[in-house]
Amino acid sequence: MAGWGPGVPGPEDVVSSGPWDGVWRVGGGVGGPGNPLWAVRLDPDAGHPAPRPPVVEAGADGSAPGSQGIGTSPVRPDGALKVRGEFAFSSDLWADDMLWGATLRSPHPSATIRSVDVTAALAVPGVYAVLTSADVPGDRYYGLEVADQPVLAVDEVCYRGEPVAVVAADHPETARRAAARIVVDYAVREPVTDPEVALAAGRLVRHVPIRKGDPAAAAEVVVVGEYRVGMQDQAFLGPESGLAVPAEDGGVELYVATQWLHADQRQVAAALGLPAELVRLSLAGVGGAFGAREDLSMQVHACLLALRTGRPVKMVYGREESFVGHVHRHPAVLRYEHGATRDGELVYVRARILLDGGAYTSTTPAVVANAASLGVGPYRVPNVTVDAYGVHTNNPPCGAMRGFGAVQACFGYESQMDRLAEAVGLDPVELRVRNALAEGGTMPTGQVVRGPAPVARLLELVRDRPAPPPVGAELWQLPGGMANTTAPEQVVRGVGYAVGIKNVCFSEGFDDYATARVRLELIGGEPTALVHTAAAEVGQGLVTVQAQIARTELGVERVVVATADTAVGSAGSSSASRQTYMTGGAVRAACRAVRAALITRLAGGRAGATDDGGGRVDEGGPELAGGALRDAAGRVLGTLVDLLAAGPVEETVRWRHRPTRSLDPVTGQGDAHVQYAFAAHRATVDVDPELGLVRVVEIATAQDVGRAINPQAVVGQIQGGTAQGLGLALMEELQVVDGVIRNPSFTDYLIPTVLDVPPMAVDVLELADPDAPYGLRGVGEPPTISATPAIVAAIRAATGVPLARVPVRPEHLTGTG
Amino acid sequence: MDFLQPESWAEALAVRAAYPEALPVAGGTDVMVELNFARRRPPALLDLGRVAELADWGGEDGLLRLGAGVPYRRIVTELAGRVPGLAMAARTVGSPQIRNRGTVGGNLGSASPAGDALPPLLATGALVELASVRGVRRVPVAGFCTGPKRSVLAPDELIAAVLLPAERGPEQFAKIGTRNAMVIAVCSFALALRPADRTVGTGIGSAAPTPVRAVAAEELLAAELPWASRAELPDPLVRRFGELVAAAASPIDDVRGTAAYRRHALGVLAGRAVRRAWTEHRREGGAG
Ligand SMILES: Cc1cc2nc3c(=O)[nH]c(=O)nc-3n(C[C@H](O)[C@H](O)[C@H](O)COP(=O)(O)OP(=O)(O)OC[C@H]3O[C@@H](n4cnc5c(N)ncnc54)[C@H](O)[C@@H]3O)c2cc1C
């Protein structure tokens, strides 16, 4: 990428023919650095965005652009369908002659398999195939980072729920009954379920040390604490599901709900022993993801059964099965020591973070790196010693979940910051502000924070919000809600604060890119853009965002976003808060390549005067606006109708963010992250201390999003992420005892209801990141991270109970644990 | 799976006798969950939704007769004055959707120790009317459940109604859950004061294999409440009552809570319930 600035796609990234526009105009037109920041003040009672400042995105001729470009909130195509219950999810897929797949799973967390006898299952009328690991034609192991997870158990099982065999039958009930008739002879082993024991036994997945400054630094004030985070589940509502259809060329088409079509394709093809082009994936309706669809579930199984039977095969997990069918958030034990001056200035942080990765590797290595590199939070700390470990146990596998290592660390360091504030006699916000990281500051990894880092400002924004109303008198306003437990005089109130940091995009030198194909053509005489990517719409609104970018860049109103599939290059995962940044960046680049091609076409096929010869279009060169190519003064150089009369223009661009580096394995030093994102929360809670019941009264939150491409979606992410953080604070935990999930249902895995999620006051800052498309910052994860510690801090403030574990249970508050 | 839909009570009883293996379904809010989770695969369902006799309530010999098929929503909107404890419990059940469908008959049929209708029925000394082609019998709620998800209901019987005694007085119900709505009780407590005959009824949910009464606690209050003077409640009496309620439970540790918490919370709920009920009693008597 030499010769190209950060974030600027190099010429080698232009996959298709056609000249490359290549211009990276920071903040293109709007939202650039130096743009005044603004805040969306949400009326917590109204619950929807106040009118935002008008986006003046003047075309060169001074005309306002279309109403549906970036910075607006067009109606989502899936919105009304979902509200009406008419949206087709992956579990609704249907083919007339299809069979149903079912999975036999291990009842033991750890066992050797002596034998598997499928005879009785095959004898069940209506059964078409029963497959075990012996029937896997290609690689028998898969994995996102390390291929260590068996497609179907090979000689042993390492967690309860591990797939052992799969069945295809003409009815789902028949398939399940047949699966139950498979006889597996297990020699049960003692499971390893304690991560400390696993670490001592050498079952290490990854150790990430971070060393900065003086490891022996001493301080006047020292606080030490140990914290625990339980196993949270993503709790998506749409279970793992999909439909595999055998193809005439010997390949297979898979329609599936996933986060990353190409990662699935790579792993499925390897397991099937087929070249990737014979395994074609299309995104089916995704019923939530949050990280849980990054690893494979039924993908290979359905394809195996389809290829074996020659019939389409549908698989849909049941709810209980789903809880063992995907990875969870790593439970963690975090030990922290913070040293500070008497004035509350941090001198050092020492931390040991232990993450239970469960039976297989999944994304544990990256989660460990996040926990380590973000382990002291968004603070200036001169001396840092962090050791984060991920281990293998026989617990359910853990992997990606919104916040990805940053969530666990934040509960540790923010709990510590409150204790430190108390120890030095400072207000918790004041202590944080004194130590807040800022633009140009240095992370414990040595990485200098480029672009705005308004940590102090975010804290001040939530602190300065008016306080919510006093304790309510209605039942639903009180702890315990409608259950009639608590009267207003039995309530104490507390307020707590937290701020968090998250990396956006893939880190540590990963070759992270997204591909977009944009085609501009006349349909019915009207210029129409077709945007095609493989990026997974998982409910976050990405389809809308892609169309908005195309409208802004191409100056057309009609945009069609094609279904995501593997007919176009990889978009990378809808994770790491990266997809608007990455696929948004790719769509923008592809649109600009289209513009460059039009400029060439305008110049009669020769490179135009504004083309600098390197495929780049200069700032101030022709723009697409209002259906025409216009010069800087807004004069029409050529209408799209005329320019496209000769045929469509199509460009495909593979787009990368600026490169990152790996972390030094000994010191943990290195520019490992692309972008940092920050959010702060203030939580106000009412607690009934005698019963240990909590009601969150209000949450004020502030986040810098760089540029709100779709303000409504931004606010939705902030509200949803905060609710998920609330869940971890108060109720969401998979209770795993001896490797067995005790509460695999929504009866006992509780997620917040409308009576648990309070009104939220949201401040959105738009401080452009000079490296990012439009200056945007990933928004999906930060709100989840600091919501949890803010709520726990508020409960501590209300009750004085030194809570050190989430979720907080009534037992912890009443000493009856 | 067969779906049997009798149009009348007589027909329902006949079908029940003929197909005892058919699973009765009222609101379906427990049955459908069991079917979804494949915990049950009955050969047939016996839908009681068309039996008008089950969907009514009315007076009978001074008793309130509540048809087994009356949904919680109607108990809340139509009967809050007449059976306040049961109405308070009904208000805590599930969500609006569940309250629209779910019934007291179904709650009894499931015989879960966590069934929220059962503690107030225990506290008020309600009877369950069971019917079959053989005849009709009435059993006290206290004798209806025999264990977790087990009851005295015979294979050919249906639950016709519950009968609530005529006596009136202050009633309370509260339940603990780990979220503020849509939650199965970690534990619950119901109280009924009967000033006219100076008796006290209690019911404890989710803290024993079946819903249970706290008999010693009832006796304590009946004997020591200052019924006549309507004087303020002595703190030691409230405390002792809470202790006896907690002692009457035999809770376990499970995913919803620890035994220690359940005992503790029952003591607190009992104390709060008696204070609220006594405040109401004093207010009605013109005191306090
Ligand atoms: C989301 C959700 C939330 C819930 N929340 C609560 C809660 O907060 N509190 C609570 O107590 N329960 C709760 N429940 C459980 C359920 O709603 C209640 O137990 C309800 O009372 C069941 O009534 P139903 O009419 O739906 O019963 P059904 O599901 O129709 O039947 C339940 C059982 O009773 C039997 N039965 C029904 N009617 C008769 C009859 N007339 N004669 C003989 N047998 C009969 C059935 O065969 C079955 O075994 C919840 C359920 C769900 C799905």
* CA pair distance B33, A696, nearest whole angstrom: 30
| pLDDT score of B287 | 52
- Residue A619 pLDDT exceeds 70: no
Question: Looking at ligand 1, which residue's alpha carbon is closest to its atom 43?
Answer: B158
Query: Element (H or E) spanning A623, and its range?
Result: strand A623-625
Subunit contact A756:B174, Cβ cutoff 8 A: no
**Partner-chain contact A809 B179, CB within 8 Å:** no
Quickly count: other Cβ atoms within 10 Å of residue A277's Cβ. Answer: 12
Residue given tokens 């625990």 in the structure block: A228
**Exposure letters A604-619 (e unless 16+ CB within 10 A, then b):** eeeebebbeeebbbee
- Tokens for A347? 């001198």
Buried/exposed code over B21-56 (b: 16+ C-beta within 10 A; e: otherwise): ebbbbbbbbbbeeebeeeeeebeebbbbeebebbbe
- Please name the residue that has the structure tokens 């394809």: A303
Shortest-distance atom of ligand 1 to CA B30:
29
**Straight-line distance from the first to the last Cα atom of chain B, in angstroms, rounded to the nearest whole number:** 61
| B177 and B146 belong to one structural domain | no
Q: Check pLDDT > 70 for residue A799.
A: yes
Q: So where are chain A's domains? A: 1-87, 90-190+239-286+293-325, 332-507+663-814, 513-656
Please state the rounded mean pLDDT for residues A610-629: 66
Pocket (CB within 6 angstroms of ligand 1): B 23-31, 33, 48, 68, 92-94, 98, 101-103, 105-107, 109-110, 115-116, 153, 158-159, 182
- Side-by-side strand order, sheet with B187-194: B171-176, B187-194, B199-205
pLDDT digit string, tens, across residues A553-601: 999 999 999 999 999 999 999 999 999 999 999 999 999 999 999 999 9
CB contact under 8 A, A814 and B38: no
Domain covering A332-507+663-814 assigned CATH 3.40.50.2300 in the classification: no
Average pLDDT over chain B reads 96
Domain boundary (B148, B165, B182) is at: B165
Give the Cα separation of A72 and A283 in Å (integer).
Answer: 26
CB contact under 8 A, A483 and B260: no
Q: How far is CA B3 from the centre of its chain?
A: 29
Instruction: Look at residue A604 in the predicted model and tell me its pLDDT.
Output: 87
Task: Tell me what pLDDT residue A621 has.
Answer: 86
**Distance between CA atoms of residues A572 and A288, nearest Å:** 17
Residue nearest to atom 32 of ligand 1 (CA): B106
CA neighbor of A662 nearest in space, from A489, A511, A471: A511
A690 CB within 8 Å of a chain B CB: yes
Cα–Cα separations (whole angstroms), residue A448 to A414, A440, A442, A451, A458: 22, 6, 4, 10, 20
Go through chain A and tell me how many residues it has: 817
> Per the domain annotation, does B46 fall within a domain?
no
CATH of the domain at B206: 3.30.390.50
The number of folded domains in chain B is 2
Distance A241 CA to ligand 1 centre (A): 30
Percent of residues, chain A, with pLDDT higher than 90: 89
Residue B41 located in a structural domain:
no
Interface membership of A226 toward B (CB under 8 Å): no
B16 and B127 assigned to the same domain: yes
Of residues A505 and A64, more confidence is placed in A505
- Residue A30 DSSP one-character state: S
Q: In A443-578, which ranges are E strands?
A: 492-504, 513-523, 526-532, 558-561
Give the mutation target among B39, B46, B107 for probing the ligand 1 site: most ligand atoms within 8 A of CB. B107
Instruction: Indicate yes or no: CB of B92 within 8 angstroms of CB of A484.
Output: yes
Q: In this complex, is the C-beta atom of A809 within 8 Å of any C-beta atom belonging to chain B?
A: yes
Mean pLDDT of A655-677: 98
Domain boundary among the residues B165, B189, B210 is at B165
Residues of A in contact with B85 (CB under 8 A): none
**Mean pLDDT, residues A40-44:** 35
Instruction: Pick out chain B residues at pLDDT < 70.
Output: 286-288
- Polymer length in residues for chain B: 288
Residue B51, in any domain of the structure? no
Residue B244 lies inside a defined structural domain of this protein = yes
A73-122 confidence digits (pLDDT tens): 999 999 999 999 999 999 999 999 999 999 999 999 999 999 999 999 99
- Where does A436-566 have alpha helices with state H? 455-463, 542-554
Residue A115 and residue A421: Cα distance in Å, rounded? 60
From the alpha carbon of B118, which atom of ligand 1 is closest? 11
Mean of pLDDT values over A137-146 = 97
pLDDT of residue A63: 40
Our CA dihedral for A447, A452, A458, A460, rounded to 10 degrees, sits at 100
Task: Name chain B contacts of A319, Cβ cutoff 8 Å.
Answer: 36-37
Tell me how close the Cα of B36 comes to any Cα of chain A, in angstroms: 8
Q: How far is the CA of A276 from the centre of ligand 1 (A)?
A: 50
Query: For residue B172, what is the nearest residue in chain A, using CA coordinates?
Result: A484
Is A65 within 8 Å of A551 (Cβ atoms)? yes
Distance B106 CA to ligand 1 centre (A): 4
Q: B175 and B110, same structural domain?
A: no
Q: What is the pLDDT of residue B62?
A: 87
pLDDT over threshold 70, residue A155: yes
* CATH fold of A513-656: Aldehyde Oxidoreductase; domain 4 (3.30.365)
Longest Cα–Cα distance of chain B, Å, equals 62
* Predicted pLDDT at A67: 74
Q: B115 and B203 share a domain?
A: no
Both B137 and B111 in a single domain? Answer: yes
CB atoms within 10 A of CB B148: 12
Task: Report phi then psi at A193, rounded to 5.
Answer: -120, -10
CA distance B37 to A319: 8
> Residue A36's pLDDT band (boundaries 50, 70, 90)?
very low
Closest CB to B269: pick one of A482, A485, A695: A485
Contact A536, A259 (CB under 8 A): yes
Do both B18 and B153 map to the same domain? Answer: yes
Chain B closest-CA separation from residue A123 CA (Å): 22
- What is the reported pLDDT for A109? 98
pLDDT at B38: 85
Q: Which of A237, A484, A486 would best serve as a mutation to test chain B binding (most B beta carbons within 10 A)?
A: A484
What's the confidence (pLDDT) of residue A606? 56
Alpha-carbon distance A216 to nearest alpha carbon in chain B (angstroms): 43
Q: Is the pLDDT of residue A204 over 50?
A: yes
Q: How far apart are CA A384 and CA A443, in angstroms?
A: 10
Q: Looking at residue B97, which CATH number applies to its domain?
A: 3.30.465.10
Regarding an ipTM greater than 0.90, the answer is: yes
Dist CA A729 CA A320 (whole Å): 23
**Do B187 and B97 have their domain in common?**
no
Q: Is the pLDDT of residue A607 over 90?
A: no
Any bridge partners for residue B193, and if so which? B200
* In chain A, residues 300-319 whose CB comes closer than 8 Å to chain B: 318-319
- Measured from the Cα of B33, ligand 1's closest atom is 53
Average confidence score pLDDT of chain A:
91
Residues 712-741 of A with CB under 8 A from B: 730-731, 735
Amino acid of residue A790: A
Ligand 1 atom at minimum distance from B153 CA: 43
Contact of A488 with chain B, judged by CB distance below 8 Å, is answered with no
DSSP string, A186-242: EEE------HHHHHHTT-EEEEEEEEES-TT---SEEEEEEEEE-B-----SS-SEE
Picking from A322, A489, A490, A691 by the largest number of B CB atoms within 10 A of its own CB, the best residue to mutate is A691
Domain that holds residue B232: 171-283
- My answer on whether B16 and B123 are in the same domain is yes
Q: Which helix (H) or strand (E) segment is A128 a member of?
A: strand A127-131
Instruction: Write down which residue in B165, B189, B209 finishes a domain.
Output: B165
Q: Which residue has the tokens 């309130």?
A: B64
* CB environment A45-71: b (16+ within 10 A), e (fewer): eeeebeebeebebebbeeeebbebbbb
Q: Do A817 and B261 touch (CB under 8 A)?
A: yes
Model pTM greater than 0.80? yes
Q: Is residue B231 part of a domain?
A: yes
**In degrees rounded to 5, what are phi and psi of residue A429?**
-70, -45
How many angstroms separate the CA of residue A641 from the nearest CA in chain B? 54
Residues B146 and B242 in one domain: no
Predicted confidence (pLDDT) at residue A22 exceeds the cutoff of 60: no
Q: Which residues of B touch A481 (CB under 8 A)?
A: 179-181
Q: Tell which one of B110, B118, B188, B204 to mutate to probe ligand 1, the residue whose CB is within 8 A of the most ligand atoms.
A: B110
A90-190+239-286+293-325 CATH, one of 3.40.50.2300, 3.90.1170.50, 3.90.800.10, 3.30.390.10: 3.90.1170.50
Residue B274 shares a structural domain with residue B200: yes
Within this chain, domains A332-507+663-814 and A513-656 share the same CATH topology: yes
> Which among B29, B118, B145, B156 is the best mutation to test ligand 1's pocket, defined by most ligand atoms within 8 Å of the CB?
B29
CB B258 to CB A745 under 8 A? no
Residues in contact with A609: Cβ distance below 8 Å, sequence separation at least 6, in sequence order: A603
Q: Measured on CA atoms in the order A486, A488, A489, A490, is the torsion positive or negative?
A: positive
Instruction: Name the closest residue on chain B to residue A755, using Cα atoms.
Output: B180
For testing the chain B interface, which of A485, A697, A814 should be mutated: the one with the most B CBs within 10 Å?
Answer: A485
Max CA-CA distance within chain A? Answer: 81
Residue type, A395: N
Please list every residue in chain B whose beta carbon sits closer than 8 Å to the beta carbon of residue A730.
178-179
Distance B30 CA to ligand 1 centre (A): 4
Q: Report the DSSP pairing between strands A760-765 and A693-704.
A: parallel
Percentage of chain A beyond pLDDT 70 is 90
Tell whether B139 and B221 lie within a shared domain: no
Average pLDDT rounded to a whole number, residues A727-742: 98
Kindly state whether residues B160 and B177 are assigned to the same domain.
no
pLDDT of residue B36: 87
**H/E element holding A694?**
strand A693-704
**Taking CB atoms and an 8 Å cutoff, what residues of chain B touch A747?**
33, 184
| A71 in B contact zone (CB under 8 Å) | no
Q: Are strands A252-256 and A279-283 parallel, antiparallel or unpaired?
A: parallel
